Amino acid sequence: MGQFLGTHVNRLDRKGRVSVPAPFRAVLARFETTELILRPHHKSACIEARPEPEFRRLAARLDALDSFSDDHDALAFALFASAHSAIPDAEGRIVLPEALIAHAGLGETVAFVGLGRLFQIWAPEEAERMTRSAVQAARERGLTLPGGGTA
């Protein structure tokens, strides 16, 4: 399995630890890393997690910009300043930083939502609401993928 798929709800314990779903860890291995880069999503109340190589790919796009421009600085801040590194321990758990827990409004349980090359961490209720509205948007607005027929 090469991409992050599905929604998995796990428990966030008193120490701020949570098990990364086993299938996600398998995907991580496919990226030939153990390291995850966690960032607060710039719009939504969730944490965005990428395998380190994938994050690197994203960061590489910065190089296209002039390193002395204001745009470059702003983007660099957004990308790096509130990012955290996390490596699952022997049991497959990571600790979520306080700041990110607050940003996502997480409680006792958290939902891991697979999104292909990355995944997000939501409060379970919010994750379900997002999924619902995304599916409905796809249905009503006829959102479809470019370059082809019906999904």
Partner DNA sequence: AGATTTCCCATGCTATCCCATAATCGACCA
Partner DNA sequence: TGGTCGATTATGGGATAGCATGGGAAATCT
Residue 11 in contact with DNA, rule: CB under 7 A:
yes
* Choice from 25, 75, 88, 93 touching its own copies (CB under 8 A): 75
- By CB under 8 A, the residues from 119 to 148 that bind its own copies are 127, 130-131, 133-135, 137-139, 143, 145-148
> What is the DSSP track for 39-66?
EE-SSSSSEEEEEHHHHHHHHHGGGGS-
Q: What is the dihedral of CA 135, 140, 142, 144, to 10 degrees?
A: -10
Rg (the chain; Cα; Å): 17
Residue 37 in contact with DNA, rule: CB under 7 A:
no
As a whole number of angstroms, the distance between CA 6 and CA 8 comes to: 7
For residue 111, give every residue at least 6 positions away whose Cβ sits within 8 Å of its Cβ, in sequence order, or none. 7, 8, 9, 121, 122, 123, 124, 126, 127, 128
Stretch that binds its own copies, among 13-21, 35-43, 88-96 (CB under 8 A): 35-43
Q: CA 125: distance to chain centroid?
A: 17
- By CB under 7 A, the residues from 80 to 109 that bind DNA are 89-93, 95
Please, which residue, 81 or 145, has the CB nearer to DNA? 81
Residue 71 in contact with DNA, rule: CB under 7 A:
no
Distance of closest approach, residue 116 Cβ to DNA, in angstroms? 19
* Choice from 62, 88, 92, 95 touching its own copies (CB under 8 A): 62
Footprint of DNA (CB under 7 A):
8, 10-11, 13-15, 17-22, 89-93, 95
